[in-house]
Amino acid sequence: MNNNELKALVSLLDDEDKEIQLHVEQKIISLGDAVIPFLEEEWENNMNLTVQKKIEDLIHVLQFDSLKNRLKAWKETGSQDLLEGMWLVATYQYPDLALERLKKDLEQIYYEAWLEFKNNIHPFDQVKILNSIMFGKLKFAANTKNFHAPANCMLNIVLDTKRGNPISLCVVYMLVANKLKMPVYGVNLPNLFVLTYKTNESQFYINVFSKGIIFSKADIDKYIAQLNLPASDIFYQPCSNMDIIKRVLRNLIISFEKTSDTDKIQEIKQLLQVISDEPGDAI
């Protein structure tokens, strides 16, 4: 379909006949996200507010459909790249965000840590070095003032503001630690996401939300007991990249529930369903 045909379609978005409007919208959506640049140009040049709003809605539908497809592909290829998963989540709010931009920001943090890092020292000391860079030099910190803000789940915003929630700060910390060859993984605790430093010889835990404080299995035992929950391996052992992205999406649902944004709640639930194996897993 050439530009003139697309212009003709767009001109019918405010047709008095609602059936024609619906047909036009469906036709545009069927063209896929390749038509987005044209729609954006039409939005800029069109002075009809009704048409502009319809174009905005169509762009969102196309971007959201594209995101679902990319998220499904990420799952089907093994969800090996956590950074890619976090980037996909962030493109829900920032569809033009480039993955390379996140890679560049993380590379800078890694470089700052690499300058100070030593491989042949005790794991505790390795953690202390990374803590000094993350929380001392670079000033990453918990976003306690706006704990439920959706921005806390958006990696680009976390990297820009250096503020985040437990899981987003853990993701930044873990991605940098892994580049430093540290065996650091995520752990799904109830109401709190933490990291574990795990080798064949030893294992301990890191609370990134509390500036990287180190704690032990006994501390988790006490925490679980206080919550009156039965012990489970999930509270002590590394979780998968898929588990992390699911938890990020669930956090987003909570964020949008706080603002009563029902449309976004339903969309995030759709994203969660895309990567869930069982229908009930998305709830």
Number of domains in the chain: 2
Q: Could you tell me the residue range of the domain that residue 192 belongs to?
A: 82-282
Q: What is the mean pLDDT of residues 223-238?
A: 95
Give percent above pLDDT 90 in the chain: 76
- Indicate whether 116 and 227 sit together in one domain: yes
Angle, helices 49-76/262-274, rounded to nearest 10 degrees: 30
Check: CB of residue 87 under 8 Å from CB of residue 99: yes
pLDDT of residue 27: 87
pLDDT of residue 133: 97
- Indicate whether 232 and 165 sit together in one domain: yes
- Indicate whether 63 and 145 sit together in one domain: no
Q: How confident is the model over 146-162, as pLDDT tens digits?
A: 999 999 999 999 999 99
- Indicate whether 164 and 182 sit together in one domain: yes
Last residue of one domain, picked from the residues 14, 48, 76: 76
Q: What is the mean pLDDT of residues 115-131?
A: 95
- What percent of the residues of the chain are helix, what percent strand, and what percent coil, each to the nearest 5? 65, 10, 25
Q: How confident is the model over 173-203, as pLDDT tens digits?
A: 999 999 999 999 999 999 999 999 999 999 9
pLDDT of residue 32: 85
Q: What is the DSSP string of 242-274?
A: HHHHHHHHHHHHHHHHHTT-HHHHHHHHHHHHH
Nearest partner of 179 among 131, 127, 113, 239, judged by Cα: 113
- Indicate whether 100 and 235 sit together in one domain: yes
pTM of the model: 0.90
Last residue of one domain, picked from the residues 76, 100, 127: 76
CA-based torsion, 246, 85, 145, 197: positive or negative = positive
Q: What is the mean pLDDT of residues 5-17?
A: 78
Check: CB of residue 135 under 8 Å from CB of residue 211: yes
Q: Categorize the per-residue pLDDT at 280 as very low, low, confident or very high, splitting at 50, 70 and 90.
A: very low
Higher pLDDT, residue 68 or 22: 68
